[in-house]
């Protein structure tokens, strides 16, 4: 029997085959182990990737849920805003009725009219407002105060150096902080019809030589005019045409630049006061002086 002396040593054929078989099996086992280790590493890597993917998926799911919540909140807010806008539009639509050719009897929803509702009348081209009982035309703006029968100021009136023309009829106190510059007009003398009241001026250039015994009716009691005599002119006193210092029926003749102040005691009853340009006192036919007149008054 041969003695085994290791691989490559002398021996019989069967022993060599056995040795080769064992060696091959050992090599195969090592290869299998290496393959198994590689598979294990690959599996571990894939498991790690799976964990990472799962974490990413969980994060995405959380983000998606958050986005869904945000979207839901936005939808709720949008729906609330839409509802509020629709209510506001409906409320506005109940007040502003739009353009119509005739006065509406109900609002745009068919409901009863509300005080403050408005519409534009296309027939008259006027804006109208419902008072609660009737449709009222809204004024186009202040183009003339004559259409306002009872205007009132909310504060002091600044004329801005402008001129008031026409008669100024006051029912209260007139407190002025500036000069009162009165306009002057011209009126020709007449026995009874010389109109000193309706002209646009309180001072009047009195022309002509006709003797005056009366004036037309005054607009109201208490108003006055100042006649500036252009030349010689005369006035005759009477029951309703009183002249200071002059008896009824007597006539005074004024000179140029004399002034006659006419005060309306009533609309048909007047009192005249003469201021002579030469500075002398008024003396009546009966001899009364201006001092006597003032003492009488």
- Quick: pLDDT tens for 55-95: 787 787 787 777 778 887 888 888 888 888 877 777 787 78
Q: Which of 269, 213, 265, 274 is nearest to 245 (CA)?
A: 274
The rounded distance, in Å, linking the Cα atoms of 120 and 94 is: 14
Please provide the DSSP assignment of 108-127 as one string: TTSPBP-TT-EEEETTTTEE
Planar angle of CA 12, 15, 18, nearest 5 degrees? 150
Query: Closest by alpha carbon to 225, among 260, 268, 187?
Result: 260
Could you give the CA distance from residue 257 to residue 274 in angstroms, rounded to a whole number?
11
Write phi, then psi, for 17 (nearest 5 degrees). Answer: -65, -40
Which secondary-structure segment (H or E) carries 49? helix 13-95
pLDDT at 285: 47
Buried b (16+ CB within 10 A) or exposed e, 134-145: ebeeeeeeeeee
* Distance from the Cα of residue 196 to its chain's centroid: 44
* Predicted pLDDT of residue 290: 52
**How high is the pLDDT of residue 194?**
94
CA distance 150 to 260: 34
Model pLDDT, residue 100: 93
Structure token digits, residue 204 = 């009047």
Confidence (pTM)? 0.46
* Paired residues of 285 in beta bridges: none
Q: What string of pLDDT tens digits covers the 297 residues of the chain?
A: 444 555 555 555 566 666 666 666 667 677 777 777 777 778 777 877 877 877 787 787 787 777 778 887 888 888 888 888 877 777 787 788 889 999 999 988 888 888 989 999 999 888 999 999 999 988 666 566 666 677 777 788 787 877 777 666 677 777 777 777 777 899 999 999 999 998 888 899 999 999 999 999 999 999 999 999 999 999 999 999 999 999 999 999 999 999 999 999 999 999 999 999 998 887 654 444 455 455 444
Residues facing residue 186 across a β-bridge: 205
CA–CA gap between residue 207 and residue 227 (Å, rounded)? 9
Residue 144 backbone phi and psi in degrees, to 5 = -160, 135
pLDDT score of 140: 63
């Amino acid at each position: 029997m041969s003695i085994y002396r290791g691989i490559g040593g002398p021996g019989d054929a069967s022993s060599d085959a056995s040795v080769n078989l064992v060696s091959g099996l050992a090599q195969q086992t090592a290869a299998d182990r290496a393959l198994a280790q590689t598979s294990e590493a690959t599996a571990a890597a894939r498991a790690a990737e799976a964990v990472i993917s799962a974490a990413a998926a969980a994060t995405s799911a959380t983000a998606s849920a958050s986005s869904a919540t945000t979207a839901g909140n936005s939808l709720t807010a949008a729906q609330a805003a839409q509802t509020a806008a629709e209510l506001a539009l409906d409320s506005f639509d109940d007040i502003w009725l739009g353009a119509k050719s005739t006065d509406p009897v109900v609002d745009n929803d068919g409901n009863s009219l509300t005080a403050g509702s408005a519409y534009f009348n296309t027939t008259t081209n006027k804006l109208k407002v419902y008072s609660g009982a009737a449709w009222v035309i809204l004024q186009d703006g202040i183009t003339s105060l004559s259409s306002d029968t009872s205007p009132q100021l909310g504060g002091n009136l600044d004329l801005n150096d402008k001129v008031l023309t026409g008669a100024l009829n006051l029912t209260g106190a007139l407190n002025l902080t500036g000069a009162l510059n009165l306009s002057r007009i011209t009126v020709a003398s007449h026995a009874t019809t010389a109109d000193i009241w309706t002209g646009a001026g309180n001072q009047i250039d009195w022309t002509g030589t006709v003797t005056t015994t009366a004036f037309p009716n005054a607009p109201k009691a208490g108003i006055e005019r100042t006649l500036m005599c252009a030349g010689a002119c005369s006035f005759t006193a009477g029951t309703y045409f009183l002249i200071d210092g002059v008896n009824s029926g007597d006539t005074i003749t004024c000179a140029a630049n004399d002034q006659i102040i006419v005060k309306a005691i009533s609309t048909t009853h007047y009192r005249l006061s003469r201021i002579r340009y030469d500075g002398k006192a008024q003396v009546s036919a009966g001899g009364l002086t201006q001092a006597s007149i003032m003492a009488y008054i």
